[in-house]
Amino acid sequence: MRRLHRLLGAAIACGALTVAGAGTGPAHALDDELWINAPYETVLPGADADGSARERSLDVSVSRDVADGRVPAGQLTVDVSEIAGFARVSWPANCEPASETRAVCAFPEMPAGTDSVRAATFGLRALPGADVGSSGQVRYSATAGDLTSHAGETRVGVGNGPDLGLSEEPTSGTSGRAP
């Protein structure tokens, strides 16, 4: 029994030293990283009988972890190869198509104190005859100076029925409550 108490006492002492020393290691500065901010998913309305289809906008921005210092202008690469069989893309002026399914979009620098910037807003429209239930991923990556983003993606599908798509309203500094 006495041996058990000694072992238990030693274990408790080691645990206390471990907890006490937990915050005494070297402090590491937070590294700045780029992130892609895009909708998780969007559904394109199927084409009407005349072959026309309503367009959905896809807003993509790039953010960073640390707002200290400046991040130079960069490039967002967008790959739409998985949705090319059922959707058409309308590229904005800041995007240069590199192929039929890929574009590189220039985005402005992030000055000190800024933590995100809009990189591109492009349109998606279902092709005439696209099968309801078709789906695929739009994939993104970004670079700015020596920073590279984690990969991002948006699932895109085709659906029928009422247009119930929601979009985010721009933030204006209000609380979001009705007057």
The residue ranges of the chain whose pLDDT is under 70 are 1-31, 161-179
- Both structure tokens of 134: 């078709």
At 153 the pLDDT is 97
Domains of the chain: 34-159 (2.60.40.10)
The 3-class SS string of the chain reads CHHHHHHHHHHHHHHHHHHHHHHHCCCCCCCCCEEEECCCEEEEECCCCCCCCCCEEEEEEEEECCCCCCECCEEEEEECCCCCCCEEEECCCCEEECCCCEEEEEECCECCCCCEEEEEEEEEEECCCCCCCCEEEEEEEEEECCEEECCEEEEEEEECCCCCCCCCCCCCCCCCCCC
At 53 the pLDDT is 86
At 169 the pLDDT is 52
At 131 the pLDDT is 92
pTM for this prediction: 0.72
At 30 the pLDDT is 53
